[in-house]
Amino acid sequence: MPRSIWKGAISFGLVTIPIKLYSATEEKDVSFRQVHPEDGGRIKYRRVCEKCDQEIPFAEIAKGYETADGRMVILEKEDFDALPLTTTKSVEVVQFVAEDEVDPTYFAKTYFLEADGPGVKPYVLLRDALIQSGQSAVVKVALRSREAIALIRPKDGVLLMHTMLWPDELRDGAFAAPPAEVTVSEAEVDMARSFIDALSGEFDPSQFTDAYREAIEELVKSKLDGVELPVEAEAPEEAEVVDLVAALRASVEAAKKRREGAEEKKAM
Residue 161 and residue 99 in one domain = yes
Task: Tell me if 64 is assigned to some domain.
Answer: no
Beta bridge partners of 139: 93, 150
pTM higher than 0.85 for the full model? no
Task: Tell me if 124 is assigned to some domain.
Answer: yes
- pLDDT band for position 265 (cuts 50, 70, 90): low
- pLDDT band for position 97 (cuts 50, 70, 90): very high
Task: Tell me if 151 is assigned to some domain.
Answer: yes
Task: Tell me if 258 is assigned to some domain.
Answer: yes
Residue 11 and residue 91 in one domain = yes
Total domains in the fold of the chain: 2
Residue 149 and residue 189 in one domain = no
Residue 221 and residue 92 in one domain = no
Q: Which domain holds residue 100?
A: 6-28+83-169
Residue 251 and residue 156 in one domain = no
Residue 196 and residue 249 in one domain = yes
Residue 141 and residue 250 in one domain = no
Task: Tell me if 68 is assigned to some domain.
Answer: no
pLDDT, residue 260, reads 75
Q: Whole-angstrom Cα distance, residue 45 to residue 65?
A: 23
Residue 15: CATH number of its domain: 2.40.290.10
What mean pLDDT do residues 197-226 have? Answer: 82
- pLDDT band for position 69 (cuts 50, 70, 90): very high
Residue 163 and residue 219 in one domain = no
Residue 20 and residue 135 in one domain = yes
19 or 144, greater pLDDT: 19
- pLDDT band for position 104 (cuts 50, 70, 90): very high
pLDDT, residue 267, reads 67
Residue 148 and residue 254 in one domain = no
pLDDT, residue 241, reads 53
- pLDDT band for position 114 (cuts 50, 70, 90): very high
Residue 262 and residue 185 in one domain = yes
Task: Tell me if 60 is assigned to some domain.
Answer: no
248 or 161, greater pLDDT: 161
Residue 87 and residue 146 in one domain = yes
Q: What are phi and psi of 26, to 5 degrees?
A: -145, 125
- pLDDT band for position 207 (cuts 50, 70, 90): confident
